[in-house]
Amino acid sequence: MTRGLSLLLLLTLSSSVFAHGGVVEDDDLCVIKIGYLRAHFKIYVPEERQHQEFCEDIPVRGDSVFVMEYQHDGLSEAEIDFRIIRNVTGKGTFARLEDVEAIDDLEAVTVRHEPPTVVPDVFTLLQPFEEDGEYIGIISARSLDTQVVYTAVFPFEVGYTGFGYWPWILGALFALQFIYWFMSRRARQATSVAALLLAGALFTPEVRAQDDESWVSDAGHFTVSFQSELQPLVINKIHNWVLHVEDNEGKAVTDAIITVNGGMPEHNHGLPTVPQVTATHEAGDHQVEGLRFHMRGYWESRVAIDIGTERDSVTIPLSL
């Protein structure tokens, strides 16, 4: 039982344990999200690892080549600003944009800065790393039409200086094996259930969306909250939401094109339905019909908002 459970835990975690920051895996490709803009993202260390691709962390020092292949035409027409800094936030791989903005002297910790420039189709950057350590990549894209700036932050390591989640994983597996050794046959049957619950408690994301919460969009243009007709949210039941959208001045957003999608990033699949969004008679409220979550675990609902002059998106985390 414990051997099978251990294997299940490792298989479940292997695709997500080392993913962090603004780069995610999508259809076996590394994708970076810069606001609502997306690009294939990969890093090469040609002298040491030839054609091997890396998403974020770089296993060895040396000349590293960063490559972004645009999935969105907006990146081809935007000014791309690329900066690499030493990670002095103290947050490790959990550093986010607000942590970078809190750094007093960004230039003092900057390792490389490529000033804003328009690069059609593919952005490449050659950066030599002479020291192992923790770094943060900061990519900004400024629309020449609207002057709106979207930013992505991705912490990464050179030389794999940290141990990541492995001590926690090995500790959990050891605890499960210890329980298995010292319990009776009848008790082991009950312990198997307890072990699964323990694994879920250890590795299920801690965030759980509540109706009274609100989320700020990626570029800070909008604030989104929701009310679900299901209280609480359950799996395998078609239901509706009411989204409430306000701009950054707290005014209700009425004339907007809103789309809702999402999925389970750890399982690499989307929603089983295609939700439809319509405006309601209440200012700022939008009816979302046809939502369904068909399995337990961590979900993300992605809300895209387009008012013509501004486009932005917000991610609502759900733990079911």
239, 292: one domain: yes
Q: How far is CA 91 from the centre of its chain?
A: 16
pLDDT in tens, 180-210: 666 665 555 555 656 655 655 554 444 445 5
pLDDT band at 224 (very low <50, low <70, confident <90, very high): very high
Eight-state DSSP code of residue 93: G
61, 83: one domain: yes
114, 186: one domain: no
Question: What backbone phi and psi angles, to 5 degrees, belong to 241?
Answer: -120, 160
pTM: 0.48
Helix (H, G, I), strand (E, B) or coil at 110: strand
Radius of gyration of the chain (CA): 22
Average pLDDT (29-46) is 89
228, 297: one domain: yes
Task: Quickly count: other Cβ atoms within 10 Å of residue 163's Cβ.
Answer: 9
**Could you identify the residue written with the tokens 């990033």?**
265
pLDDT, residue 16, reads 36
Considering the domain boundaries, does residue 4 fall inside one?
no
The parent domain of residue 272 ranges over: 214-319
pLDDT, residue 234, reads 86
Task: Write the single-letter amino acid at 147.
Answer: Q
Average pLDDT (2-22) is 44
Give the full edge-to-edge strand order of the sheet including 222-228. Answer: 214-216, 222-228, 239-247, 285-291, 276-279
pLDDT, residue 93, reads 83
Question: What backbone phi and psi angles, to 5 degrees, belong to 162?
Answer: -105, 170
DSSP 160-215: --S-TTHHHHHHHHHHHHHHHHHS-HHHHHHHHHHHHHHHHHHHS-S----TT-EE
Considering the domain boundaries, does residue 276 fall inside one?
yes
pLDDT, residue 157, reads 93
Residues contacting 282, CB < 8 A, separation 6+: none
Considering the domain boundaries, does residue 63 fall inside one?
yes
pLDDT in tens, 282-295: 888 999 999 999 88
Helix (H, G, I), strand (E, B) or coil at 21: coil
Considering the domain boundaries, does residue 17 fall inside one?
no
Q: How many domains does the chain have?
A: 3
125, 187: one domain: no
Considering the domain boundaries, does residue 5 fall inside one?
no
Q: Which of 158, 173, 188 is the last residue of a domain?
A: 158
CATH code at position 221: 2.60.40.1930
193, 141: one domain: no
101, 222: one domain: no
